[in-house]
Structure formats: structure tokens, C-alpha cells
Amino acid sequence: MVTRDVTGGAPVVVLDEIDSTNAEARRRAEAGETGPLWLLGLRQTAGRGRRGRAWETGAGNLAATYLFRTDKPPAEAAQVSFVAALAVADMLGQYAPAKLVSLKWPNDPLLGGLKVSGILVESGASPTGGLWIAVGIGVNLARKPIDAERPATAIATYRDSPPPSPIEALEVLSGAFDRWSRTWTTLGFPAIADAWTARAHGLGEACVARLGTETVEGVAEGLDGDGALRLRLADGQVRRITAGDVFFGGA
Ligand code: BTN
């Protein structure tokens, strides 16, 4: 384990091998660690994704978790997933054509319309008070997963030169994360929602929302004030989607 200082950002703890950087963040948070810090796993043996899925981290891909403590109420703190998505979008635009980068609700960064990254936010009560928040970010830098349920891609596909290393990519990501965090703090969630909307994938298009046991079809209209997705149903009513997976034609 090595700790590196990224210029101006939170320290980065580099772990050669770990089950899951989110699991490690939870262990540290429950032991009283408040961060802010980044945990970077060069190899993840049990990476996890949203809704109980596994997340495969191929060699050379980014697997990192930002751990911090907050006094915000849980619903507000959860908006950090949009901050993270914007930071990933900026990072992707540094290494691949920016015009191919988009964000699918709630927080799936896409490259050329295909999933290239995943974000998993977990939280709990901090023993020091308030909440600990772990923002886990996986990015396919070098290779796409072998067993992806949906079509996926990697940054390397869009480059003639080698993709960035996980450490280099995290330095860029960390800087972008800090900038969007400051926007969130100074201008509030509306500024984050506007920036997210400007990069949104599929707004105005028909989609299917899978919400656990229920499936809902409608047209994705945009974000509500709290980050919920506004889905216009066939009968004209608006359904607020607060959790689930959304699928458009291809992604
Ligand atoms: C998704 O299902 O789209 C979210 C995937 C999140 C994966 C990242 S990789 C780093 C961190 N550690 C984990 O175990 N998961 C997240």
C-alpha cells in the first residue's frame, strides 16, 4: 500500500490488490476514517456494481473510491453521484473525443453511446457523527468487461496511443471531482443538474425503466429538482423515477 499526494487534491491510497475499493472504504469508515481520501485498487477481486451486480475490473482499468464525511441529510448527500458522473465525463473528454461522451440516468457515463464507466455510491453512519459516503468509480480504460450484460466499451477503443494508467486517470478525475464539488457547494444542486442535463443521453426519447419488479415505459423528460428522472407516461402523467435502471434503444 502506498499513499500518494495528488496536486491540490485528496490523498490517494494505492492498493495493489483489494476485494473492492468500496468495501475497503466501508471498513475504514466504520473504523472512524473520515477522509477525504481516494482508494485506488490496481486489482479488484470482488468489485461490485449497482443493484447487487458484480463489476469486473480488467487489468489497466480504473477502480477507485472517494471516501468523505458529511453532515448533509442522506437524500442530499446522494446527489454526489451526479457530481461524480460529471467528473468522469470531464476525464473521459480528456482521453477520448468529448463529443462522444454522455451521461445516462442516474449516473452511467457513456462513450459513443456505450457504457464505459460505473458509479456506486454507498453510505452509513460515521462513528464520528454525520454520514460517511463512498463514491466508487470504475472506468474501462484499457479493456471492456468480458461478461457485460449490456454492450460496453473502453477508452482504448477510441485512441491510437495507449490509454492512461489508472493513476494518471485518477489524477485527472480527482481534479475534475474537486471542481464539480465546489460548484455543488457554491451554486447548489441546480447547477449540477444543469451541467448533467447538458450531457444527458436520451432526453426526449422513449425508454424503459426497470425498477426492481416493476417495468415502466415512457419518454425521459429530464431531472426533477432532487435528481429524480421525470418520465412522461403514455397516459400523459409524469412518473418520478428515483431508483432503477433506464434503457434506451441501444444502451
Ligand atoms: C455500476 O453498476 O455501474 C457501478 C459500478 C461501480 C464499480 C466501482 S469500481 C470501484 C468501486 N469499487 C467497487 O467494488 N465498485 C466500484
Closest atom of ligand 1 relative to the 51 alpha carbon: 2
**What is the pLDDT of the chain when averaged over all its residues?**
94
User: What is the domain partition of the chain in residue ranges?
Assistant: 2-198, 206-248
Q: Which residues line ligand 1 (CB under 6 A)?
A: 20-22, 47-50, 53, 55, 57, 63-65, 118-120, 136-138
Measure 114 CA to ligand 1 centroid, in angstroms: 16
Q: Which fold has domain 2-198?
A: BirA Bifunctional Protein; domain 2 (3.30.930)
CA pair distance 33, 46, nearest whole angstrom = 22
* Continuous segment of H or E residues that includes residue 247: strand 245-247
206-248 matches 2-198 in CATH topology? no
Q: What is the per-residue pLDDT across 72-109, written as a single tens digit (0 to 9) for each?
A: 999 999 999 999 999 999 999 999 999 999 999 999 99
Q: Where are the alpha helices (DSSP H) in the chain?
A: 21-30, 74-77, 80-95, 166-187, 189-198
**Grid cell locating 231:** 418520465
Confirm if 110 and 116 have CB atoms less than 8 A apart: yes
The closest alpha carbon to 92, from 78, 104, 102, 82, belongs to 102
DSSP strand pairing (12-15 vs 37-41): parallel
**Grid cell locating 59:** 487489468
- Amino acid at position 205, single letter: E
Q: Give the Å distances, CA to CA, from 3 to 10, 16, 41.
A: 11, 12, 12
Residue 194 has pLDDT above 70, yes or no: yes
Q: What pTM does this model have?
A: 0.95
Measure 136 CA to ligand 1 centroid, in angstroms: 5
Helix axes 166-187, 189-198, angle to 10 degrees: 130
CB atoms within 10 A of CB 19: 15
Q: Which residue has the cell 456494481?
A: 49
Measure 234 CA to ligand 1 centroid, in angstroms: 34
DSSP strand pairing (131-139 vs 62-70): antiparallel
What pLDDT was estimated at residue 6?
60
Q: What is the per-residue pLDDT across 124-149, written as a single tens digit (0 to 9) for each?
A: 999 999 999 999 999 999 999 877 67
Measure 237 CA to ligand 1 centroid, in angstroms: 34
Q: Which residue has the cell 419518454?
A: 219
The closest alpha carbon to 249, from 227, 217, 213, belongs to 217
Choose one of 28, 53, 104, 137 to mutate for the ligand 1 pocket test, by most ligand atoms within 8 angstroms of C-beta.
137
CATH of domain 206-248: 2.30.30.100
Query: pLDDT band for position 249 (50/70/90)?
Result: confident
Question: Which residue CA neighbors atom 9 of ligand 1 most closely?
Answer: 138
Query: pLDDT band for position 250 (50/70/90)?
Result: low
Measure 41 CA to ligand 1 centroid, in angstroms: 11
